[in-house]
A and B are shown apart, each in its own frame.
Chain A
Amino acid sequence: MFGIWAIARNLVKEVLRMRFLLLFVALITASYTIFFAYWLQSHAGRADQKVQTFLSYSLSGTAVFLALLTIFISIASITRDIKYKEIFSITTKPVSRVQFLIGKFLGIALLNLFMLLISCGLIYGLARWMQTSSSATEDERERLKELVLIARQSVKPQFKDIGEEVNKKVEAVVERKMRDESVFYKNNPALVAEMRQSLAKEFTDELTQLAGSVSPGQHIVWHFTGIEPIEREKGFVYIRYKQDVSQNPADSTTFGEWTYGPQDPLNYGGTQRSTRDTIRTIHEFPVPVSAISPEGDLYVLYRNPTQNQYITVIFPPDTGIEVLYEAGSFEGNLLRGTILIYLTLIFLVVLSVAMGGWLSFPVAALFVMVIYVLGISGDFIAESMKYEGTPFQMSISSVLLSFLPNFATYDPVPQIETGKLVALQKLGECGLFLILVKGGIVALFGYLVFKFRELARVIV
């Protein structure tokens, strides 16, 4: 352990003595935090939107910048030790090779922790400063406190299972095709299987879309369960929604008639509310906690009123509607988000140390950069494949993506900027799957390669 600590300490000292690097880090950090906050404050706009923008960019900037710094420092530190042979005088001391790697890992991990805490502390302070800054009105501050600088739990409605309906539709089409176009499909099970897969995807999308569509004069009822706000006696939960439309209205707004209550409004009625909202924009309205049953159930009915005339209102399946309630403080949420960012950085340290012990600096850095970029864009790739790719491409890409670190899944910024709770479950999943499983595999690989490589070169 003493060897590990000595190596970690030495690495921290090495970085702290790179004066130009420190200056550069300070400038970059200041530019996406302090200067950005001042710049936002000097422009017109609502306080909550400004803080949202600030949180989004500054936290993302911190995550990306520290990731790049991690990659370069980790790899450079190890490859330099090997290239310039400082490692000769280390592994010939009572320090095993794995201790050398762990020492490097620990050093970078400590540096990252230090820099992340400084950055996030700065971001927190600036967000609070923006909240209390004189340019914000009292309403804006209140709104900021309720919508952004908070940790709200999100509950999405239960959707009915459409699997059976999709299967029915698929089989109907397949049967028709087999009958009408038997020349193609007879004796070609692979083609039939591909057709089934393709149709299933098509009908699933269609039925999902349909499940959130409300024709003029029709209604839809959502059932939310497990709503457990901190205060059960008073206060509000919020219904947050975003509407799309079949045809754009002239003024880009739609009307809505809402009814909500602890039981199905169709049978038991409830509190009513009328709205007129801009389309494709997120809106919220408060619902008193008294409207929620003691078991945490809330029913919400939306009726597409006749004022909308011919327009069908669509609530997209992912972002269409949700219920938000206070489940924690902004500070606690920011801390959870910071831990999540730190965990992704830890994975990058493991990967960088493993590659640095094996490859030369440019090769290792390029490799880890590619993995990082694929990791942060994994969701985008998967989404693209879902819409554009063939079933075969989809399955290949999903297998490949499953090997990659899914940084995007564990990105806490979308939650923090919208005041949503970063779930502990997400932290657990990240620690288990990203760090222990994937990180463990990478660490084992790096250890084995480093253990059995020659640290010197034969010079004759």
Chain B
Amino acid sequence: MAGDANNLAIETTGLTKIFRDFWGHQKVIAVDNLDLKVRRHEVFGLLGPNGSGKSTTIKMLMGLLFPTRGWAKVLGQPPGDIKTNFHLGYLPEDSHLYSFLNARETLDFYGRLFNLSTGERRRRIDSLLEMVGLSGITHRLVGEYSKGMARRIGLAQALINDPEVLILDEPTSGLDPIGTRQIKDLIRQLSQRGKTVLMCSHLLADVEDVCDRISILYGGKVQAEGSVEELLARREMTQICSGRLEADTIAKIEDLIHARHAGYAVEVQTPRDRLEDYFLRIVSEAQAQKLETSGVVMGGEVSDFLGAGKPAGDETEAVIEELVAGHEPKVDLSESREEILAQNKEMAAQANLQDDIQQDVIKSLLEVSTTAVEAKRPDSQPVEEEVSGVTPVDAPDKLAGDSEIDRSIIDRLTTGGQEHKPPAQEDLQQQADDAK
């Protein structure tokens, strides 16, 4: 049990917050008996509609509100513990920054709160400003920033101390699609480098894209909790992705399915991009033409930094490397992040492998469209992994994971439209090249 406790970055038991009026009469139960366990190194999402108690929970974890009942621990200590706060990063729901300071002064102030040396502060501030795309407008007062720009500074302040645990309240609120994508990529990359992230949002796509596990709150209570793959998998259906197929190939596939499973409806569609991907591609093209903008410096460097195909030695990558380097978790962990995530995947894979019917169909189809698949598959990828990666129909595509993108080539090429997942940047580029 002790080992399990050490593995928990955040833990709540029976956490309850009852809101009372001036006279002490009970007004509303904001959080009701919440049991939450966030493991180290995972990205955990608190999902729920407005007023479901997400922010209240986070505020209790940060010591800004006191629980009416129950308790919470962050890194093994009660909320508000000064020593624990050295290892925490917190982005409030609105950035709440001092309007009289400019971006650099803002980060300098928060750096001072962590007693960072002058040189260290300067180094981190430069890097963070570069990373969030505000290095060109550091002289402007934060009070004059748009909400999205303030959000970027807010995120930078949450990272100034290289936190072990990052608690983000609606991190993408107010951000444009590019900023949203950057933040999501950043969260993934921080997570891959050992950070624990707890984020709350009511934007389903955000949570789905970045979270390993989620908890859905409604009325202050947990309605569902588990890994994203577990919760979203629709095991009664199978989705197959492929390169463009001729009509007779499709007919053969349909025949095969109908032969083995009479009565199964088969739907064949041409996949569509997600609007987010389309938008990002258009903006990338515009930036490539060096069109002027009055907004923050973004796209170019930041997209490269946060994107999957970023070249080695990129300055923004260096920021994350720097944040992570030499700051491994203080507690010896019995399980690494990879092991924890592997557990989730293993569970999903085991469930799928038990489904013999699906496996038969997939193997048959792989034989039919072997040319397209083989052409895209890296040599090092074992076939078994591909199979397990294909099977869950609603399994989210990991934005920043190269291996995920390669592995899910079938998803990318032949989704059923509404279930389509975004391809990675390099694949988009590949498609564009092919089109030319």
Contacts and interface: CB of A to CB of B under 8 A. Distances in A.
Contact of A454 (B65, B109, B161): B65
A295 to B, nearest CB: 60
Interface of A: 2-3, 5-7, 9-10, 13-14, 17, 84-86, 88-96, 454-456, 458-460
Given A88-B90, A89-B90, A94-B114, A454 B66 contact: yes
Contacts of A10: 98, 101, 109
B92 A88 contact: yes
Contacts of B220: 460
A86 B114 CA distance: 16
A164 B417 CA distance: 107
A95 B90 contact: no
Contacts of A2: 112-113, 115
Contact of A92 (B19, B85, B115, B154): B85
Contacts of B65: 454-456, 458
A224 B119 CA distance: 66
A10 B105 CA distance: 9
Contacts of B90: 88-89, 92
B109 A6 contact: yes
Interface of B: 17, 19, 28, 30, 51, 53, 55-56, 59, 62-66, 80, 82-83, 85-86, 88, 90, 92, 94, 96-98, 100-101, 105, 109-110, 112-115, 154, 157, 161, 220
Most central of B112, B154, B161 by chain A CB within 10 Å? B112
A88 B63 CA distance: 9
Contact of A93 (B19, B51, B92, B114): B114
A252 B63 CA distance: 74
B26 to A, nearest CB: 12
Contact of B64 (A13, A88, A96, A460): A88
B112 A94 contact: no
A5 B80 CA distance: 20
Contacts of A3: 112-113, 115
B418 to A, nearest CB: 33
A84 B80 contact: no
A460 B62 contact: no
Nearest to A93: B113
Contact of B30 (A9, A13, A94, A458): A458
A7 B114 CA distance: 12
Given A14-B100, A458-B19, A458-B56, A92 B109 contact: no
Nearest to A454: B65
B19 A89 contact: no
Contact of B112 (A5, A84, A459): A5
20 contacts: A6-B113, A10-B109, A85-B92, A86-B98, A88-B90, A88-B96, A89-B97, A91-B80, A92-B63, A93-B113, A93-B114, A94-B82, A454-B64, A454-B65, A456-B59, A456-B65, A458-B17, A458-B19, A458-B56, A460-B30
A7 B154 CA distance: 18
Given A17-B100, A94-B83, A89 B92 contact: yes
Contacts of A93: 85, 110, 113-114, 161
Contacts of B114: 93-94
A6 B113 CA distance: 6
Contacts of A7: 113
Most central of A85, A93, A95 by chain B CB within 10 Å? A93
A95 B63 contact: no
A89 B110 contact: yes
A459 B28 CA distance: 10
A460 B113 CA distance: 31
